Amino acid sequence: MDKLIAFKVFCLENYKIIHNLNGKTALDIFQKHKVFDYITSYFDVLHSFGRLYIINDIDEYISHSTPL
């Protein structure tokens, strides 16, 4: 599996677990706020951090993004 795809899955799964969401709800949030685009843009930096840092960063990104 491509490293970027694996990282996107890792982010989505951990976001789902930490926020106690089902997969569809977590995916809807990621799509609504273009989180996958964000992860792709900052993959080189993000993948070097720990799980909680990454999820907190995604939360921060979502809180400042404009939903579709």
* pLDDT given for residue 61 in this prediction: 97
Domains contained in the chain, number: 1
**Mean pLDDT to the nearest integer, 16-38:** 98
Cα separation, 17 vs 26, in Å, equals 9
pLDDT band at 16; cut points 50, 70, 90: very high
Q: pLDDT, tens digit, for every residue of 2-11?
A: 999 999 999 9
Q: What is the pLDDT of residue 1?
A: 66
Which domain covers residue 22, as residue numbers?
Answer: 3-64
- Where are the alpha helices (H) located in 2-50, listed in sequence order? 3-18, 23-32, 35-41, 43-46
